[in-house]
Amino acid sequence: MSERVSEERVLRDWLAREADCGAADVDPETVPTNSAAVLDALLTAKPGAAAFVWRERPVRWYRLTLDRERFVDLRPVDGPDDLLWRAASTDGTLFGVAERIHEEGVAPLESAGIDAEAIRTYRDDLASGTPFDPLVVRTRCGATPWFVADGNHRVTAAALHYLETGRYVPLSAYVAVTANPVLGPTITRIRGLLQRLAGRTIAHRGSREP
């Protein structure tokens, strides 16, 4: 079951999480109150992961609980960090990163430059019953898979916990649904065609005037 949520709520929660994690570009004492300033601050702190918020408008936001099938197919969001996580994954998913850890230990993470200690801490929190903050996940209308913009370490920790215990603890997520990019060029072509037809009609009428 999903519910619509406001973009401002999602971005404020995301920015507050960056402040809690000690992001250098976010001052926890001066988190902005203006919605535009919140977006600017988030883009400064996470320019790669958060870029879709302004680049792929409009964005519809929902909050839901991820089922197991969707969870195991989550992937890191496009950008520089994506290369690190994919390098440590067996199949490009974050679940695949947990599989590498489960089978080989943390060496693949260290080689890829990923914080293994953060993953272990999150796994222990989950095992002790501490719920995670909602992930931030993005997808396009009617598209799969879903990409994690915020929460790669939490997803990997939950996957590792699942592999170790056989139990999936459902994760909450804010899901951003953006427009299918195919629609943009199509609309542009249709608009151009209509404009050309209108121009020809006007020219034809003008040629018939005495």
pLDDT tens across 167-205, in order? 999 999 999 999 876 544 544 555 555 666 666 554 555
What's the start-to-end Cα distance of the chain, in Å?
A: 67
The mean pLDDT of the chain is 84
Contact predicate 11/41, CB 8 Å: no
| Residues 118 and 198 both lie in one domain | no
Question: pLDDT tens digits for 66-125?
Answer: 999 999 999 998 766 667 898 899 999 999 999 999 999 999 898 888 999 999 999 999
What is the C-alpha separation between 155 and 151, in angstroms, rounded? 6
43 & 59 share domain? yes
- Predicted TM-score (pTM) above 0.75: yes
The answer on 118 and 184 residing in a single domain is no
pLDDT (average), residues 144-149: 90
Look at the block and give the residue holding tokens 């899901």: 175
Mean pLDDT of 129-150: 91
Task: Tell me, yes or no, whether 173 and 192 share the same domain.
Answer: no
User: Which residues on adjacent β-strands are paired with residue 63?
Assistant: 3, 174
Say yes or no: 195 and 158 in one domain: no
The pLDDT of residue 187 is 46
Same domain, 125 and 205: no
- Same domain (yes/no): 30, 129: yes
Nearest to 135 by CA among 65, 80, 84, 69: 65
Q: Are residues 36 and 127 in the same domain?
A: yes
Residues 27 and 86 reside in one and the same domain: yes
* 39 lies in the same domain as 97: yes
Residues 171 and 184 in one domain: no
Examine the domain organization and report whether 194 and 97 are in the same domain.
no
Confidence grade of residue 210 (pLDDT, cut at 50, 70, 90): very low
Number of domains composing the chain: 2
Residue from 93, 155, 80, 68 nearest 119 by CA: 155
Q: Could you list the residue range(s) of the whole structural domain that residue 189 is in?
A: 180-210
Among the residue ranges 13-27, 101-115, 151-165, the one predicted with the least confidence is 13-27
- Residues 188 and 114: their CA atoms lie apart, in Å, by 42
